[in-house]
Amino acid sequence: MSVSAAVVAGGKSRRMGRDKGWLDLGDGRPLVRRVIDVASQVADEVFLVANDARYASLGLRVVPDRFPAGGVLGGIATGLGAARHERVLVVACDMPFLQADVLRLLVERGEGYDAVVPKVGEEYEPLHALYTKACLPHIERALAAGKMRVISFFGDVRVRAIDEAELRAVDPDLRSITNVNTPEELAALSLRARPAAR
């Protein structure tokens, strides 16, 4: 079945102090390109949700965030609305160790669900998840009501949580859900630990 992938690059990057999508971990590729390269192994369509004109240089469709004050939830809504396919992988632009096998797991577990979201401990990973367009009206209602938490619409749709054990079966060290928020986290990352794509 066809799947779209929306790479969300609309964050403010306050803790990093600069746009995280363009950070280079030492191999000459910005983080956003690493994410795109992995998402392209799984999705028929890959596009960006971003308000920065620089992202057009990557050669993909760039969709402006329809809800710039809506945080992560607004980025997800924008991606769902712009996708050409019913099912949409939504990933953040700052995940250097994203893995195609994990994205495939989300797609494979999607039958009969509106959202497939990894959950480690009590925390969901909403920008490393699969959503269907059935989620969109519920997200838009949540945003209109001022509800910014991603899980605010989960009670209205069929959610399949991928628990830690299931995730570790594919990604033993949970590297795929690593993101980069601060200069310290950037400095601590090592590209030698694991290749970005599988």
Query: Token digits for 160?
Result: 């399949």
Contact 85, 3 (CB under 8 A): yes
Give the helix/strand (H/E) hosting 186. Answer: helix 183-188
Give the helix/strand (H/E) hosting 48. Answer: strand 45-49
Instruction: Look at residues 42, 44, 74 and name the one whose alpha carbon lies nearest to residue 144.
Output: 74
Q: What global pTM score does this model have? A: 0.86
For 107-155, what is each residue's pLDDT tens digit?
A: 999 999 999 999 998 999 999 999 999 999 999 999 999 999 999 999 9
How high does pLDDT run on average in the chain?
Answer: 86
Q: How far apart are CA 140 and CA 93, in angstroms?
A: 23
For 16-26, what is each residue's pLDDT tens digit?
A: 444 566 766 66
User: Where do the structural domains in the chain lie, given as residue ranges?
Assistant: 3-177
Instruction: Look at residues 157, 2, 18 and name the one whose alpha carbon lies nearest to residue 76.
Output: 157
Assigned CATH for 3-177: 3.90.550.10
Instruction: Look at residues 43, 36, 136 and name the one whose alpha carbon lies nearest to residue 89.
Output: 43
